[in-house]
Structure 1
Amino acid sequence: MESEQLEILDFLQKYAPFTFLTPETLTDIAKTIDVKYVKRDTPILEYGQKVTEWYVVRSGAIEIYLRDGTLYNRMTEGGHFGESGLLTRGKNRYPATAIEDSLLYTIPEDVFLSAYENHEEFAESIELESRSRLRQVVSKATQANELMSTHVKKLLNKEAVCTAPDTPIHAVAAHMSEQGVSSVLIRDDSGIIGIVTDRDIRNRAVAVCMDLTQPVSEIMTTDIVSVQHDRMAIEAMLTMLHHNVHHLPVLRRDEPVGVIALSDILRYESRNSLFVVSRIYHQETVEQLEELKTEVQATFSTMVNQESSSYMIGSAMAAIGRAYKQRLLELAHEKLGPAPIPYCFLALGSMARQEQLIVTDQDNALILDDSFDPARHDEYFKALATFVCDGLDKAGYPYCTGGVMATNDQWRQPLKVWREYFTQWIEKPSPKSLLDSNIFFDLEGVYGQAEFAHNLQTLISQKARGNNRFLASMARNALQRTPPIGFFKNFVVEADGRHSRTINLKRRGTAPLTDLIRVHALAIGSRAHNSFERLNDIEQAKILAHGRTQDIRDALEFISSIRARNQAEQLAQEQVPSNSIVPDDLSDFDRKSLRDAFLILSNAQKYLRFRYQPNRSAH
């Protein structure tokens, strides 16, 4: 070796992960290294840049940033960077800049990947520098998305503008123009009692030739939805999605500190799901709703490509699905007339949990008022259910193959019958009855009398908590789907059929995870719908060993993100999206992380079996 290569070899031997390589491999690497000098304040890697080499800092200092410019890490002598882009065979996600005059060793991509794939300890050292491999990749993905890492208060650029309820409408409009705002909060001595937007003034006052000297209270919206200033921007966006509002008051405790407008969120997402929801509400026919399918798919793909978390994607897609249901019900009323008695239309399963992706079917039901008389009312509600379910199928939500739809007479019943259903399922459980009814334990009212759904949720919470026989039966069902990991911790793939050599990430991954999370949530009386929110309740209840809840959260996030990414790639290739992946098509890094996630699921199922003793449910 030349003297310069010997000097490089001597340097590398001092630092991990090179200490885990054989002398022969290390010598071969030293021979391939190129030396680069970069001046202070020089960018080395830009966001989105193709990564073709691995960087080791010989001298100087390098700073690594998140996409929003936040400092993520600082590298000095012996530090390395660029491995994230190489391991995912993609583009750089973490910009790097020299903050001092620096000397870098660069190692070609093929040389780095060869060392990574053939030397386990070398690979482990790289992956485990920041806690576990899975925790690292999930936390980086979360930090990389600005909506997940930005607080609501950072979105505010003006203080809240308030006025009294007796202020004339024309004076409010002038004040809004003077302050350069699109909304005003209405408050009296009791606090905030309403909000008025520029759209309200236009539609509720000017368009109908209203006397503009009338008090603003005549046109204000009193059903106020708000968010606390210390919450994350993602929560603000999801709140706006859930309630279809374009202005969201921000409170510090009970005091308003500002208002977030739709435009404040849009700069974080180029093809925003808020736009799609708004478009859904403005369609006049089922055929027009059907035409939005491509926009929904494009929104999903954009969120995946922007590295949004599965929590964010699932919540946004569920909000879109909920908007479809609500608009179809409005169109149904236009066709059929008003409902003869109060009712609540339920979303079930992944939509109720706010964990929906682009591959989904429809699961729904109807709760009718206890005054329901089949002879007088059922013809209307059957027609209503048929209109909505047919419309959902056209809009891209296929009929449920198991018949869990409001068109099924069994799932179109008065509240008292639904209470009997759940009482029977919980107090006299059997694995068979709960297998058929499992999906009903994830329910949300999306239209009509929401208190009907709340009534059932209260019943479930009260009767399920501490009911050992019921929980044992639920646990037994939750253990029927196991992760695809063999005895030697290798993947077990489908052997034949259309999806041979694949793994169904829903059936063997996210579904058993959500099942076991649901059992724990029912055991502690959690009222949360979403699996991640249920995990927060489970963590507070301390029914799992320290760190286990975070492990389950990471496993669910990672498997869901791989599932979403696979569906987005299939859409991009004009294929029918599915839940099945070919493990060999994943990068080595993703395969190892996916194996880690499945092992966490396996261990979580072992604990479920220990805690709830599901075998006793068969007696």
Structure 2
Amino acid sequence: MELSLEMIRSEIQRAGDYKQLRGIRDQLHEEFEGRLLLSTSIEWNRELNQVHDLLIEKAVGLGQEKVRQEGGGDPPVPFAFVLFGSGGRGEQTLWSDQDNGLIYGVPANFQIEEQAIVYFKLLAEAVSELLMQLGYPPCTGGVICTNEKWRKPLNGYRSMLHEWMQDPHWEHIRYLLILADMRTVFGDKGLVTAVLDEFFDYVRKHPIMLEHMLHNTLHHKISLGLFGQLIKERYGEDAGGVDIKYGAYIPIVSGIRLLAVEAGVKASSTEERILGLMKTGFVEEEIAQDWLEALSIALKLRSFTPFQLEEGHYTSRGKLSADGLTKERISELKLCLRIGNDLQKYVKKSVHKEIEKG
């Protein structure tokens, strides 16, 4: 019997601790693996990410409960628990890691500020620990709520944002692009809206920012050779396979993200960004449909890459193995990569045109 989202939601809400939640997550992992072959990948991805959201929301609720029981009290100011990366875009695979942060309201005085620093540090540690117990490994790049950089009051986020924008070297632009995918999964959505509005507003007034972001956006090249052949892994355990994550998926979602920033489309998922670009007339429908098709193939093939359980965490190297490259998948992948190639050229042209105008 296929579980409906409502049934999944009530199961997750009823769970009293991480052990019950972990049991649900493992069960759903199998359930969704089986569904992958039967549904369209964008729809499957959407449903899977609603489940990830429910698990993460529950973990934040349990984290608050833990802090309260240990004498840490309640949040002294409103806050938002946010996701970045594929979580922010609503495109997590079955085995995504933790890419998250915490924004809280500006405390009214020094005393509340001190309370907030202590409270949200405790909450971040509790939630991150719970998510690890649920099989989400911490982000290797340190984009995680336990890192002070990503756990700040709203004014802290604002000044960090301006620091990056006024000194747009490679690393700062990388952070800006991480921030552009930010989405609230629990708490006060207004805090995230405030940060993103400021970001979009700054780019609109300083279109040269698009040029800086373009370099980072085109950093990962599509895995297609000059003569239309697949660029395969040459060494190691993935030899003969293809890097779906960095050779197809990341170049496509990064290109669409930059176009969305340029057009002022504030959606966070790649699908919604493409639809937004189409609705505003920024891109022709035919091209947008091609992008949706490429996204759909990239999401599907990314979900077929082998994963493993390491110390209880779900992980994957994002490579489609040589024996996973069936004839059908090769032709789908080549189509996806050709569209991805055209998309990267389109982005470059579009940004240069915008800068000349600006």
The answer, yes or no, to whether TM exceeds 0.5 is: yes
Q: Is 2:98 the partner of 1:362?
A: yes
**Does structure 1 conserve the Cα–Cα contact (< 8 Å) formed by 2:241 and 2:325?**
no
Residue of structure 1 equivalent to 2:222: 483
Q: Is 2:288 the partner of 1:288?
A: no
**Does structure 2 conserve the Cα–Cα contact (< 8 Å) formed by 1:514 and 1:531?**
yes
Residue of structure 1 equivalent to 2:349: 610
The structure whose Rg is larger is: 1
Q: Is 2:6 the partner of 1:270?
A: no
CA distance in 2, matches of 1:475, 1:274: 41
Q: Which runs of 5+ in 1 are unaligned?
A: 1-268
CA distance in 2, matches of 1:576, 1:351: 15
Deviation track 1:327-378 (CA, whole Å, cap 9, x = no partner) reads 1222222222211222111112212211111121011111111117553332
AA aligned to 1:547 is E
1:122-161 mapped onto 2 (5 Å cutoff) = none
| Mean Cα deviation higher: 519-528 or 580-589 | 580-589
Out of 527, 539, 543, the position equivalent to 2:266 is 527
Q: Which runs of 5+ in 2 are unaligned?
A: 69-73
Question: What's the RMSD between the two structures over aligned residues?
Answer: 2.4
AA aligned to 1:285 is D
Deviation track 1:146-169 (CA, whole Å, cap 9, x = no partner) reads xxxxxxxxxxxxxxxxxxxxxxxx
- 1:430 is displaced (CA, Å) by 2.5
Q: Is 2:304 the partner of 1:561?
A: no
CA distance in 2, matches of 1:587, 1:466: 48
Q: Is 2:59 the partner of 1:328?
A: yes
| Mean Cα deviation higher: 406-415 or 272-281 | 272-281
- 1:613 is displaced (CA, Å) by 4.1
| Mean Cα deviation higher: 418-427 or 517-526 | 418-427
Q: Is 2:305 the partner of 1:305?
A: no
Residue of structure 2 equivalent to 1:501: 240
AA aligned to 1:457 is L
1:548-587 mapped onto 2 (5 Å cutoff) = 548-567=287-306, 578-583=317-322, 585-587=324-326
Residue of structure 2 equivalent to 1:418: 157
Q: Secondary structure at the match of 2:302?
A: helix
Q: Secondary structure at the match of 1:305?
A: coil
Could you tell me the TM-score, scaled by structure 1's length? 0.52
Could you tell me the TM-score, scaled by structure 2's length? 0.88
**Does structure 2 conserve the Cα–Cα contact (< 8 Å) formed by 1:367 and 1:413?**
yes
Instruction: Evaluate the alpha carbon distance shift between residue 464 and residue 404 of structure 1 in structure 2; reply closer, same or farther with a 3 A threshold.
Output: same
Q: Secondary structure at the match of 1:346?
A: strand
Q: Which has the higher contact order (CA 8 A, sep 6+)?
A: 2
Residue of structure 2 equivalent to 1:344: 80
Q: Higher helix proportion, which one?
A: 2
Residue of structure 1 equivalent to 2:193: 454
**Does structure 2 conserve the Cα–Cα contact (< 8 Å) formed by 1:406 and 1:412?**
yes
Residue of structure 1 equivalent to 2:251: 512
- 1:612 is displaced (CA, Å) by 2.1
Percent identity between matched residues is 25
Instruction: Evaluate the alpha carbon distance shift between residue 450 and residue 558 of structure 1 in structure 2; reply closer, same or farther with a 3 A threshold.
Output: same
Q: Secondary structure at the match of 2:227?
A: coil
Residue of structure 2 equivalent to 1:138: none
**Does structure 2 conserve the Cα–Cα contact (< 8 Å) formed by 1:554 and 1:597?**
yes
Residue of structure 2 equivalent to 1:210: none
| Mean Cα deviation higher: 359-368 or 318-327 | 318-327
1:59-138 mapped onto 2 (5 Å cutoff) = none
Q: Higher strand proportion, which one?
A: 1
1:377-416 mapped onto 2 (5 Å cutoff) = 377-416=116-155
CA distance in 2, matches of 1:303, 1:427: 46
Q: Is 2:203 the partner of 1:464?
A: yes
CA distance in 2, matches of 1:303, 1:529: 25
- 1:423 is displaced (CA, Å) by 2.9
**Does structure 2 conserve the Cα–Cα contact (< 8 Å) formed by 1:292 and 1:395?**
no
